[in-house]
Each structure stands twice: as structure tokens, then as C-alpha cells.
Amino acid sequence: MPIPLQIGDIIETKKQHPCGSKSFTIMRTGMDFRMKCDGCQKEIWIERPKLEKRIKRITRDGENLQF
Ligand SMILES: [Zn+2]
């Protein structure tokens, strides 16, 4: 089942970005996702299956989302 990600969700990934941050904000959803690194503000395009494998935690409106 796909993870119900929405724009504005903050995700924590297993792998860190080169800048050291593990926190990203979802900017766009669809076949490919665009997310912004919360450390260096860089925007990244990523395919959904790849992204889903990397997600460790989702935060929405300040609360952890169960998935
Ligand atoms: Zn970064």
C-alpha cells in the first residue's frame, strides 16, 4: 500500500543528505516527488518507490503519522 504522503509533510529519512540533514519537506506529489532538504534547502526529485524505502518517519502538522 502506498504511503499517503501529502504536500507539506516532513519526512525523516534513513539516509542523510550530503549536508548532514535527515529531514525533508514534501513539495510536490505524484509519480515523482519533489522534496526540499530542511538542512540546505536544496530541492530533490525522487521516484515514489525509492522515497518510500527511505522513509523512517513522517510528521504532519507537528504530529507523527502512522503508516
Ligand atoms: Zn541538504
- Tell whether the model's pLDDT for residue 34 goes beyond 80: yes
pLDDT per residue as tens digits for the range 12-32: 999 999 999 999 999 999 889
CA pair distance 45, 30, nearest whole angstrom: 11
Tell me how far the alpha carbon of residue 7 lies from the centroid of ligand 1, in angstroms: 18
Tell me how far the alpha carbon of residue 46 lies from the centroid of ligand 1, in angstroms: 14
Residues around ligand 1, an ion, CB closer than 5 A = 17, 19, 21, 37, 39-40
Tell me how far the alpha carbon of residue 1 lies from the centroid of ligand 1, in angstroms: 28
0.85 exceeded by pTM: yes
